[in-house]
Amino acid sequence: MKTRVFITLKPGVLDPQGKAIHHALEGLGFSGVNDVRAGKLIELDVDDSTTDSDIEAMCKKLLANTVIENFRIERGS
């Protein structure tokens, strides 16, 4: 089963990659962008028997740094 894990920085955590992207967009003439926050998308192909709790444990133990990052799990088919 295809599963996506979206990982983003928590509000208030500085995002140097997002700032660099924002600065580059301004340099390219894109003036309508007010802010950029960069994140990660991890795609997993897991067995149907893998539970949401299993995937959440993967996120907490390895995939996300829960001190500074939030994660959201999206199960597919």
The structure tokens 């003439």 sit at 29
Residues above pLDDT 90, as percent of the chain: 97
Mean of the per-residue pLDDT values of the chain:
97
Q: Where are the domains of the chain?
A: 2-75
pLDDT at 77: 66
Q: Is the pLDDT of residue 8 over 70?
A: yes
Query: Mean per-residue pLDDT for 33-53?
Result: 97
Residues above pLDDT 70, as percent of the chain: 99
Under 8 Å between Cβ of 42 and 7 = yes
pLDDT at 19: 98
Class of domain 2-75: alpha beta
Query: Mean per-residue pLDDT for 39-51?
Result: 97
Rounded CA gap, 28 and 16, in Å? 18
